[in-house]
Amino acid sequence: MKKIIVLYDSWHHHNTEKLLQGCGEKCQGKVTVDLYPLHDGNAVPDLSSYDAIGFASGVYAGRMSEKILAYIKENQTALTDRSILFFSTSGFANTKAMKNAAGMIPDSTVKGMFACPGWNTFGPFKLIGGTSKNHPNETDMQKAADFVIEAMK
């Protein structure tokens, strides 16, 4: 069975973490999804045994997490021959921030991007209870799992 490890940063409402956990459960028996939170100073595990590497975070001011961006920048050479998937959750659920992050590595390595709505209470949105409330939900998690299974074929 193929294996992917997803390095992620998720702090606003842990939306991205929830998406990945649900995705991993729904991939069971088809693809092994290991998750690894990128925190300051923690050592990233050996990635060599994985068929693909994922990067995932919320979108903050139009960008993926600075921790994810810094990791990609520092490891550009090592990532060159790998299969890479991107995931993000955001208020607007678009792929722009992921495309910017992917710009640091060769196109050929990027096997796909998955954008998902995520509950956002940043700034004035807090006053109305936030946007994209109740996301990610079960349907989002299933879509993420379908994306992973297809990309790993």
Ligand X SMILES: Cc1cc2nc3c(=O)[nH]c(=O)nc-3n(C[C@H](O)[C@H](O)[C@H](O)COP(=O)(O)O)c2cc1C
Residues numbered 49-68 forming contacts with ligand X, rule: CB under 6 A: 58-62
Is 140 one of the binding residues for ligand X (CB under 6 A)?
A: no
d(CA 131, CA 121): 7
Using CB under 6 A, which of the segments 42-50, 74-82, 101-109, 112-120 binds ligand X? Answer: 112-120
Cβ–Cβ < 8 Å for 75, 105: no
Contact window for ligand X (CB under 6 A) among 9-17, 21-29, 70-78, 100-108: 9-17
Query: Which region, judged by CB under 6 A, interacts with ligand X, from 25-33, 41-49, 70-78, 88-96?
Result: 88-96
Buried b (16+ CB within 10 A) or exposed e, 110-126: bbbbbbbbbbbbeeeee
- CB atoms near residue 130 (< 10 Å): 17
User: Closer CB to ligand X, residue 67 or residue 111?
Assistant: 67
Using CB under 6 A as the binding criterion, the count of chain residues that bind ligand X stands at: 20
Residue from 114, 12, 13 nearest 55 by CA = 114
114 binds ligand X (CB under 6 A): no
Among 85, 91, 141, 152, binds ligand X (CB under 6 A): 91
Which parts of this chain interact with ligand X (CB under 6 A)? 10-16, 58-62, 89-92, 118-120, 122
